[in-house]
Amino acid sequence: MLSIREFMELFPDEQACRNFLFPIRWPRGFICTKCGESKYSVISTRNLYECANCKTQTSSTSGTVMHRTKLPLSYWLFTFYWVGSGQYCSARMLANTLDLNYRTALKLLHSVRYAMFKAEFNGMFAFWQPDNPEAPSILKKAKLRQLQKADSFIRGNYRRVSDRLRYRYHYEYRFRSINSHNPSTAVQKLITSGFTTIYTINEYRNMK
Ligand SMILES: [Zn+2]
């Protein structure tokens, strides 16, 4: 397992970050999401990839929580690896380490937590939903146990969590408990979490 410092040495500049993201975004090479074309050109002044056929432009961050970010990508990767390595990371610590103001660090951490939620979303552990009365009791018990652990994680680490966003903290607990032994996989999951169907809590409810 690399230390955070060793991990960040892989990313001396923003281009190194983009080179890292590219094969995660397009594991089998570039594909245009609009027309399926695989040929593309790079618009290096804007860090975009343009489809050779339909001219649709895309970036290595589209569909991820990093999309349209004003922060350096290395800050995101740094935060991904930090939370992915299972260590506690507060907005204050992040602000100090990256020399950001507190609000920016808080926003960054909120986005990363949203990625954790999307990465580990699983209907069986949809904590905010009432139990299905027909679910086997072993499942209900497992869900309750998870919920209790997640609540105690929240109590241990956060002073105040809004009810509206509590589910994300539940999923932060879940993400950490599943991935903390393997930060590289955690980073990949946080990057790719937006590529699949985006489940916001409201979208999910509307689907029901
Ligand atoms: Zn295209």
Structure-block tokens of residue 128:
């905010």
Tell how far the Cα of 36 is from the centroid of ligand 1, in angstroms. 6
Q: How far is the CA of 58 from the centre of ligand 1 (A)?
A: 10
- Rounded to the nearest whole angstrom, what is the distance from the C-alpha of residue 72 to the centroid of ligand 1? 27
Structure tokens at 64: 């991820």
Residue 16: predicted pLDDT = 95
Listed in sequence order, the residues at least 6 apart from 27 whose beta carbon sits closer than 8 Å to its beta carbon are: none
Going residue by residue through the chain (208 aa), what tens digit of pLDDT does each one get? Answer: 788 889 889 999 999 999 999 888 888 788 887 787 889 999 989 889 999 999 999 888 888 899 889 999 999 999 999 999 888 889 999 999 999 999 999 999 999 999 999 888 865 556 656 667 777 888 778 888 888 999 999 999 988 899 888 889 989 998 998 998 899 999 999 998 865 433 343 443 454 4
Q: ipTM > 0.95?
A: yes
pLDDT of 201 = 38
Ligand 1 mean position, distance from CA 24 (Å): 19
Phi first, then psi: give them for residue 142, nearest 5 degrees.
-60, -40
d(CA 87, CA 91): 13
User: How far apart are the CA of 197 and the centre of ligand 1, in A?
Assistant: 21
Cα(31) to centroid(ligand 1), Å: 8
Task: Output the CA 127–ligand 1 centroid distance in Å.
Answer: 39
Distance between Cα 74 and ligand 1 center (Å): 28
